[in-house]
Amino acid sequence: MRLWPVVSGVAWRTLKNAITTPALFFPSLLFPMLFFIAFAGGLSQVQHTPGFDYPPGYTAFQFVFVLLQSAAFGGVFTSFGVARDFESGFARRLLLAAPNRKGIVLGYCLAAILRWSLTATLLTVVAIAAGMPVGGGPVDVVGLYTLAVIMNLCGFLWASGIAMRLRTIQAGPLMQMPVFLLLFLAPVYVPLALLGGVLHAFARYNPVTYALESGRGFLAGSPTQVALGFGLPLAAAIVFSVWSLRGLRSAEAAG
C-alpha cells in the first residue's frame, strides 16, 4: 500500500519547513521556556501556601504543566502548517499524488511529535539546570513523556480536523482556543484541592486535570490517577483521529 513513503515524505517536508522558518519554529520553542520561567520563577512562593503538598516543589509542579501544554500546542502549531499547505495548493497536489492518503495524516502526526521533541528536550534541560528534582525512576519518566506524546497527538488531531475542513490559516483561533481553555481551566498554579468556586468545578471535570495529576505523580515518583490520566487522553486521541480522517475526506471531496 506504499504507506511509509507518504508518511516519511510528509513528515520530513513539514519538519524541514518548521525548522527553517523562524516565524514558525522559534515561537513554539521559546513560548514554553517563557511560561516555565514566569510560572516556576515568578510564582515560586506559592509552594509555601498551606495545603500545597507536592514534595518535589513548585518548579517540578509547573514543569509538568508546561511540558503537557507545549505538547498539546506543538500539535496545534503543526496543524497551522496543514492549513497553509491547503492555502498554497500543495496539499491538493499531495492528495492527487499520494497512493495511500491516510499516510498524509500519519506523516503530519509524526512531524508533530518530532517537532515537539525538540521543545521537550530543551525544556527538560532548562528545568534540570534550574535544579528541578526528579523523584520518579526511569519507568515514571517514560510514563510522563508518553503522556505528553498522547497530548501532542490530541492537539494535532483536533486542530488538523479543523484545518482540513476549512483549509485556511484564518481558522487558527478555532484550532487553538478550545485547547487553550481546557489547559488553563485545569489546576495550573495550585493543586486541585486548593482551587475554589467555579474554577474548582470546571477543573474537577476537565480531562486535562487528570493528565496533569498523573504527570505530576510520575515526576514525584508516586503515580496517581494513572487510569484516568492515560485513559481520557487516549480516548480523545481515538475520537480525534476519526475527526481528522473525516476532515481529510472533506478536503478530498472539496477537490
Distance CA 47, CA 53 (A): 8
Q: What is the pLDDT of residue 255?
A: 66
Q: What is the pLDDT of residue 196?
A: 87
* DSSP SS3 for 117: helix
- pLDDT confidence bin for 41, thresholds 50/70/90: confident
Q: Does 1 score more than 70 pLDDT? A: no
Q: What is the pLDDT of residue 101?
A: 84
Across residues 213-227, what is the average pLDDT?
96
State how far the alpha carbon of 125 is from the alpha carbons of 37, 98, 120, 130, in Å. 13, 39, 9, 9
Q: Does 29 score more than 90 pLDDT? A: no
- pLDDT confidence bin for 21, thresholds 50/70/90: confident
Q: Does 40 score more than 90 pLDDT? A: no
- Contact assessment for residue 82 and residue 163, using Cβ atoms and an 8 Å cutoff: yes
Q: What is the pLDDT of residue 25?
A: 80
Chain centroid to CA 83: how far?
18
Q: What is the pLDDT of residue 125?
A: 95
Q: Does 13 score more than 60 pLDDT? A: yes
